[in-house]
Amino acid sequence: MTLTDRTSLFAQQIESMFGAIAPRYDFLNRLLSCGQDIYWRRKAVDLLEPEDDACYLDLATGTADLALEIKVRRKSRARVIGADFCHPMLQLGQVKARKESVDIALVGASGDALPFADASFSGVAIAFGIRNFAEPEKGLSEILRVLKDRGKLVVLEFSLPDHPFLKWAYQFYFVRVLPLIGRLISRHGAAYSYLPESVLRFPQRGRFVEMMEAQGFREVAFRNLTFGIVSLYWGRKHV
């Protein structure tokens, strides 16, 4: 099997998995994060600093929570596009957007081959999605391509706390408790076992900063949220 074949298979498996849990996805996000996922997305949008009359991409939008944070909670007049390769998630996002009476364009797209012209967006946000890319470097390269000069990327992703006890407690919850709750409610065992596995595999903090810089981002930095169980990364495109 070639690298391209393996990448395609991985993407298909992830799409199928998220499609299966889509109906209970929002509920489980609130439950398993104790509501903190709302706070984390708000912090990401604070950092994105959306401006009226600009255009923003919410990549790996899922059910469009971050896109709705921009349009509804911020009452922004910015144009917002949400992109995701999981169509059941997008369908739920469309229902939520109609309920809120907001105009958000939701597009089926893979993060490593975005269907947008160069320099299309003033900012791109991706919340808990970059670790699901088969090739995160390729995804970052595509994001850089579609950003305008001085455009900002904001990435929200799970990480491991630095404090030894918090790290142990977090890993116990993440590896032992969370998959059990997720399995009972979603009836999909693989999805909530995949979550801790993908987080433990993903480059942490300084390593992800280096990955962003290697793909051409500048002014790259990060900060920890909620004792370091989530990290917020950002960087800009400089032409």
| The domain made up of 3-22+34-161+203-236 is a member of CATH 3.40.50.150 | yes
Interatomic CA distance for residues 68 and 74, integer angstroms: 9
pLDDT at 20 over 60: yes
C-alpha span between 210 and 19 (Å, rounded)? 32
Looking at residue 224, its pLDDT comes to 97
Residue 211's pLDDT is what? 98
The residue ranges of every structural domain in the chain are 3-22+34-161+203-236
Q: Give yes or no for residue 8 having a pLDDT over 80.
A: no
Q: Is 84 annotated as a binding residue?
A: yes
pLDDT tens, 92-117? 999 999 999 999 999 999 999 999 99
The answer to whether residue 3 scores a pLDDT higher than 50 is no
The pLDDT, as a whole number, for residue 27 is 87
Give 56-91 pLDDT, tens digit per residue: 999 999 999 999 999 988 888 899 999 999 999 999
Give residue-wise pLDDT tens across range 21-49. Answer: 888 889 888 988 999 999 999 999 999 99
Quickly list DSSP for 33-57.
TTTHHHHHHHHHHHHH---TT-EEE
Task: Judge contact between 130 and 159, C-beta under 8 A.
Answer: no
Would you state the pLDDT for residue 5? Answer: 44
- Res. 6: pLDDT tops 80: no
Evaluate whether 82 touches 90 at the Cβ level (below 8 Å): yes
Percent of the chain with pLDDT over 90: 69
Q: What is the 3-state secondary structure (H, E, C) of 180-223?
A: HHHHHHHCCHHHHHHHHHHHHHCCCCHHHHHHHHHCCCEEEEEE
Q: What is the pLDDT of residues 184-213, one digit of tens each?
A: 877 766 777 888 888 889 999 999 999 999
Mean pLDDT of 123-137: 95
The segment with the largest mean pLDDT, out of 17-26, 46-55, 142-151, is 142-151
The pLDDT score that the predictor gives to residue 2 is 46
pLDDT for res 189: 66
- At 51, the amino acid letter reads E
